[in-house]
């Protein structure tokens, strides 16, 4: 398990592009036959990937930085199916996930095992936060997620925001998580931009063809920085940072937050004209 320390906003301007990526981009999460995990000190979020092959399930193990017997001893977990399909067994109970389904795993689950029917199909993205109470493990298929339409064609940001784990849906301690899908011809996400000082957020971009790219913006509104990302790369947004981006075509991304509150609407919008 890799560990990333938290970043103070004043450090940003001293980071060259490689150092900027070292701090915020997570680009090696999906390795066939492996579970990969990264521990961020931003709200102690853990992000990961699990890519089981057929006939060789993968178990989610605890890791050194957690000092815990099992991964969910003090944590809750969301498992997002970013591949075609796969299954997850939690303490012997099997859940089948299709593309963009999410399994919420409550604190106290001992055995979490990822499996694939067909090699190449099962690609799971993992997001975890500290949890002070045990909430039931629950599958949220895409068609049961809360659905909102946002944006406009004129501004190339028409998109559907699906909320899977949120205050009015599946209960959790900290995690608020969903998937945003850009319409064909729309390329800008999270417009107008915003910050939410009460929560860290992590984006995982996916369903982007390998030759395409996304320019992701972060930083304080008056001093933004950009990073060029490709498919299945994640980016950490500290609570003081904006997080928005533009793709060379449409795409989807998993957004996941943890922190002081679970109020999706608690965000301070930044007018585009205030960015620099």
Ligand X SMILES: O=C[C@H](O)[C@@H](O)CC(=O)C(=O)O
Q: Which of 12, 186, 255, 270 binds ligand X (CB under 6 A)?
A: 255
**Is 70 one of the annotated binding-site residues?**
no
Q: Is the peptide bond before 235 cis (omega within 30 degrees of 0)?
A: no
**Is 194 one of the annotated binding-site residues?**
yes
Which of residues 128 and 237 has its CB atom nearest to ligand X in the complex? Answer: 237
**Is 243 one of the annotated binding-site residues?**
yes
Query: Which residues make Cβ contacts (< 8 Å) with residue 83, sequence separation at least 6?
Result: 51, 99, 120, 121, 122, 123, 124
205 binds ligand X (CB under 6 A): no
> What is the footprint of Zn ion within residues 193-212 (CB under 5 A)?
201
Which of residues 103 and 161 has its CB atom nearest to ligand X in the complex? Answer: 161
CA distance from start to end of the chain: 36
Please count the CA atoms within 13 angstroms of the CA of 3 that sit on its side-chain side. Answer: 7
Which of residues 9 and 209 has its CB atom nearest to Zn ion in the complex? Answer: 9
- Position of tokens 């981009």? 25
Which of residues 57 and 192 has its CB atom nearest to ligand X in the complex? Answer: 192
Which of residues 60 and 145 has its CB atom nearest to ligand X in the complex? Answer: 145
231 binds Zn ion (CB under 5 A): no
Q: 252, 237, 159: which is closest to 205 by C-alpha?
A: 252
159 binds, among ligand X, Zn ion, none (CB under 5 to 8 A by kind): ligand X
Residue 126 near residue 77, CB atoms below 8 Å? yes
Residue 101 near residue 140, CB atoms below 8 Å? yes
Stretch that binds ligand X, among 29-37, 133-141, 188-196, 213-221 (CB under 6 A): 188-196
- Distances from the Cα of 103 to the Cα of 79, 114, 123, 210, 272, angstroms: 5, 11, 13, 27, 35
Q: Which residues are annotated as a binding site for Zn(2+)?
A: 194, 196, 201, 243
Q: Would you tell me which residues interact with ligand X (CB under 6 A)?
A: 150, 159, 161, 180, 189-190, 196, 201, 243, 255, 267
Q: Which residues are annotated as a binding site?
A: 194, 196, 201, 243
Q: Would you tell me which residues interact with Zn ion (CB under 5 A)?
A: 201
């Amino acid at each position: 398990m890799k560990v990333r320390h938290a970043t103070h906003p004043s450090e940003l301007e001293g980071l060259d592009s490689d150092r900027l990526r070292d701090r915020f981009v997570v680009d090696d999460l999906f390795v066939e036959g492996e579970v990969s995990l990264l521990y961020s000190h931003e709200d102690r979020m853990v992000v990961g990937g699990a890519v089981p092959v057929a006939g060789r399930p993968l178990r989610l193990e605890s890791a050194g930085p957690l000092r815990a017997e099992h991964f969910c001893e003090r944590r809750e977990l969301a498992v997002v199916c970013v591949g075609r399909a796969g299954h997850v067994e939690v303490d012997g109970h099997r859940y089948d996930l299709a593309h963009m389904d999410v399994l919420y795993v409550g604190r106290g689950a001992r055995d979490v095992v990822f499996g694939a029917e067909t090699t190449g199909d099962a690609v799971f993205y993992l997001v975890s936060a500290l949890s002070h109470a045990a909430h039931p493990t629950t599958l949220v298929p895409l068609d049961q997620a809360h659905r909102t339409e946002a944006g406009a064609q004129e501004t190339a940001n028409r998109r559907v925001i699906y909320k899977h784990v949120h205050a009015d849906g599946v209960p959790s301690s900290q995690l608020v998580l969903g998937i945003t899908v850009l319409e064909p011809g729309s390329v800008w996400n999270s417009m107008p931009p915003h910050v939410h000082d009460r929560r860290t957020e992590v984006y995982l971009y996916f369903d982007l063809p390998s030759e395409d790219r996304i320019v992701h913006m972060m930083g304080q509104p008056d001093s933004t920085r950009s990073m060029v990302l490709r498919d299945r790369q994640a980016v950490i947004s500290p609570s003081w940072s904006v997080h928005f981006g533009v793709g060379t075509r449409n795409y989807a991304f998993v957004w996941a937050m943890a922190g002081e509150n679970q109020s999706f609407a608690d965000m301070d919008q930044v007018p585009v004209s205030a960015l620099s």
